[in-house]
Amino acid sequence: MLGKKAPTPQGRESDRTPITLLTIAGDHAKVEGKFDISDSIQIECEVGGELNVAGRLVIGEKGIVHADVKTVDAVIMGQYEGNMVATGNVEITETGRVSGNIQTDSLVISKGGFFNGNVTKINEDGKGQRSVYLIDEKRVGR
C-alpha cells in the first residue's frame, strides 16, 4: 500500500498526527538509486543505493537493503548492509541481520538478532560516550 495512514486507537484522543507510512513491496522487486523520503517507509523488497528518510525506516522480514542510510529511527526485521546514521533509535529484531556501521543515539538488539560492524554513539553535547548493551529478554513463566 502506498501512503497508508496509521490508525489511532479508538476511544483515545491523541495530540499526535497519524504517521504516513510509504510501503515498497514485491517478492521479486528490486529498486536502486538515491531516495529522499519525507515521511516514514517500510521496505518489503530489495533496495540499493542511498536512502534519506525524514521519519522511521522499517525493513520488513522480506526486505533486503544494501544502502547508506540517514534516518531518525530504524527497525530492522530483514537484512541490512551499509552505513547508517540514525538520530533516534535503531532496533534489530530477532529476525534482523545487519552488517555495517551504525551511528545512533540508541541501539537495541533483540535475542536472535545479528549485528556485525561498529557502533558509534551520537553525542549531541559532545561529552563522553555511553556504552551500547545487548539486552537479553527474560520470558516470564519459562
pLDDT tens digit string along 65-121?
999 999 999 999 999 999 999 999 999 999 999 999 999 999 999 999 999 999 999
* Residue 109: inside a domain: yes
Alpha-carbon distance of 83 to 35, in angstroms, equals: 15
* Residue 89: inside a domain: yes
What grid cell was written down for 47?
533496495
- Predicted TM-score of the model (pTM): 0.74
* Residue 80: inside a domain: yes
Could you tell me if 65 and 83 are in contact, meaning their C-beta atoms sit under 8 angstroms apart?
no
Could you tell me if 95 and 75 are in contact, meaning their C-beta atoms sit under 8 angstroms apart?
no
Q: What is the pLDDT of residue 77?
A: 97
Alpha-carbon distance of 90 to 87, in angstroms, equals: 9
* Residue 141: inside a domain: no
* Residue 108: inside a domain: yes
SS3 135: coil
How many domains, the chain?
1
* pLDDT 10s digits, 32-41: 999 999 999 9
- Residues spanned by the domain of 25: 19-121
* Residue 5: inside a domain: no
Residue in the structure block whose three cell numbers are 521496505: 43
Could you tell me if 52 and 36 are in contact, meaning their C-beta atoms sit under 8 angstroms apart?
yes
* Residue 132: inside a domain: no
